[in-house]
Amino acid sequence: VNPNFQGTSVAETDLLQLLARHGAEPQALVQILRELQELHGWLPRDVLKRVADALGLTLAQVEGAAGFYRFLHMAPVGTYRVLFSDNVTDRMLGSVALMDDLCRRLGVAPGRLGEDGLVSVDRTSCTGLCDQGPALLVNHHHVVTRLDATRVAQLAGLIRAHVPVSQWPAEWFEVRDNIRRADVLMGEPSAPGAALAAALARGADEMLAEIKRSNLRGRGGAGFATGLKWELCRRSPGVGRVVVCNADEGEPGTFKDRVLLSRRADAVFEGMTLAAHIVGARRGLLYLRGEYRYLLEPLLAVLQRRRDTRLLGPSILGREGFDFDIAIHVGAGAYVCGEESSLIESLEGKRGTPRIRPPFPAEHGYRGLPTIVNNVETFCAVGHIALQGGAWWAGIGTPQSSGTKVHSVSGDCERPGVYEYPFGTRIGRILEDCGARDTQAVQVGGPSGVCLSAFEFGRRIAFEDVPTAGAFMVFDRSRDMFEVARGFAHFFAHESCGFCTPCRVGTALVVKRMDKLAAGHGSRHDIDVLFELDKLMHTATHCGLGATACNPLRDTILKFRPAYERHLKSLYFEPGFDLDAELSVARRMTGRHDAGAYLENPP
């Protein structure tokens, strides 16, 4: 018997327990929905209603939030919910055929629930396991890495036999760190508390001055000066400030934060605590992407150990008045929440729609309080600056891009994994080190970044040359760059929040054009329309994510145009309407299969 489908009742005690743990406040909505779903599989309407009543929200508000997140379900899903990671790197490793195989073995269609309610199989955006794919996510919690035909066959057998996920072979869930090149951040960690003690010895003013001296810039991609952001927050009037760590690592091809959270969690939390010391915050939040749910328990254990050793909680390191603690918020599948104002909306339990800016979070952030939001890697860096000084950090890398950068290398190379280099490193150097051969292109910074072709491999990783949030996907000459761009187009359409016209409709129109080209019905006119859409989206979208949604398209059309033209039916106009396809039903019914039958005009 499937426990998910015993009526639609959720035990009242479960809800009361969740309310007791998270507080009966609207901010807790997404966490409560997520955990209710963990217990009951999906979220029936009467459950939404009960949650709404408990939190003082309307049913439509709860429905609106639940419908925003890809991992929350308002219709039944399988007891086993299998989601294949659908990044281009997974597809290059054969995920499409493996998913088809699993569906065939289980007798279900992708995205459809089988009649017995046992299993549903679908795709999801990149799960951050590109160096050990193809990967899949089970029940929004467990990950299975390094899929192959054998694993898929066994998996199908275990599901059909109703074997609980906890009893599946342990090695399937193994997530390797694959640290291939370490520098400052991935190198020998300092003892927990050492950086914090150094910061306290310097004092908040001097510590902020050190960070400004280091020229540290945010590692999430935009590269805003960290010291300036913290100073703005510190100066903002208001009682209570908030430190937020953005661990919503959703940019396809990026997995360096996963490794930092697995191996350097103390450094991340220490950086957050150090930030709290500087800006005067008492409250910290780490927004962990839903795909990294399996990291929650280890991270909570690190937090508890830090509390036990007085590195978190009241009077940190015995300093009277230095009170700070960190809670973890688990996301529910929404790429746009990596944008800092969406992330704050999501932390507040709402739909993750980007806010109108200004005001910026440093003045008006979480619940209206001055808030700093920084990337996992940025927080890792500040501890090292506390220990060794701003001038030391500024001496690494280039004048405009100080320090080191961690890269997530995947795709066509012998040694995928995590590589840390000083800023200013040549693209070609990284390609050599990872064992890439016959390389056609590298997508740096993920789909919203830049696609470089071979003549650009002499360029350097730096904010002033090739900026990156950490993804480095390699494509050799056997790959069709049009198909790469088409995959990214589908990603952006799937992840658009739907708020503004150009992104909501534009990403869907791009997909239609790309699919038309892929089906062999395209013409040069379609490429012109794609250019037009790219220009509009760069100018008119509400947030930066929409603005970059056409980047891979523009880069690949400019640099790999033959890849597009191979898909064109003619170089001139070609309608999307396919007469033969439209007539196929009539032909079957009349038995007329002779060529040109539709041209006849009988009297």
Partner 1 sequence: VTDTADTTGPSFSLDGEDVAFNPGETVLRAATRAGRYIPHLCWHPDFAAHGSCRLCIVKVNGRAGAACTLRAAPGLDVQSNTEELNAHRKTLLQMLFVEGNHFCPSCEKSGNCLLQATAYEMGMEGPHFEEFYPDRPVDASHPDILLDLNRCILCELCVKASHDIDGKNVFEIGGHGIGTHLLVNSDSGRLADTAMTLTDRAASICPVGVILPKRRGFLIPIGERRFDTASVSEQANRGQS
Q: List residues near partner 1 by CB under 8 A.
A: 45, 49, 58-61, 63-64, 67-70, 334, 351, 356, 358, 493-502, 504-509, 512, 529, 532, 536, 539-542, 576
d(CA 550, CA 288): 27
Residue 95 C-beta: closest distance to partner 1, Å:
22
Nearest CA to 311 among 426, 231, 191? Answer: 191
Residue 539 C-beta: closest distance to partner 1, Å:
5
Task: Please state the separation of Cα 320 from the chain's center in Å.
Answer: 39
453 with 488: CB under 8 angstroms?
A: no
SS3 category, 547: helix
* 1 vs 356 by CB, closer to partner 1: 356
* 298 vs 576 by CB, closer to partner 1: 576
Question: Taken in order 81, 4, 72, 486, is the CA torsion positive or negative?
Answer: positive
d(CA 499, CA 505): 10
Q: Strands 471-476, 404-411: parallel, antiparallel or unpaired by DSSP?
A: parallel
* 377 vs 495 by CB, closer to partner 1: 495
Residue 509 C-beta: closest distance to partner 1, Å:
6
* 69 vs 80 by CB, closer to partner 1: 69
Residue 400 C-beta: closest distance to partner 1, Å:
22
Q: How far is CA 83 from CA 73, 102, 253, 291, 528, in A?
A: 14, 11, 17, 10, 35
Residue 39 C-beta: closest distance to partner 1, Å:
23
* 189 vs 506 by CB, closer to partner 1: 506
* 257 vs 495 by CB, closer to partner 1: 495
Strand order in the sheet with 283-288: 325-330, 283-288, 242-247, 371-375
Both structure tokens of 208: 């902020």
Q: Count other Cβ atoms within 10 Å, centred on residue 248.
A: 30
Cis previous bond, 370, omega within 30 = no
> Which residues are CB-contacts of 94 (< 8 A; sequence separation ≥ 6)?
134, 148
344 with 361: CB under 8 angstroms?
A: yes
Residue 582 C-beta: closest distance to partner 1, Å:
15
Residue 357 C-beta: closest distance to partner 1, Å:
8
Question: Taken in order 500, 501, 504, 506, is the CA torsion positive or negative?
Answer: negative
Residue 515 C-beta: closest distance to partner 1, Å:
11
Residue 536 C-beta: closest distance to partner 1, Å:
5
* 321 vs 358 by CB, closer to partner 1: 358
* 122 vs 420 by CB, closer to partner 1: 122
The CA-CA-CA angle for residues 373, 289, 221, to 5°, reads: 45
SS3 category, 328: strand
* 60 vs 571 by CB, closer to partner 1: 60
Both structure tokens of 328: 């973890």
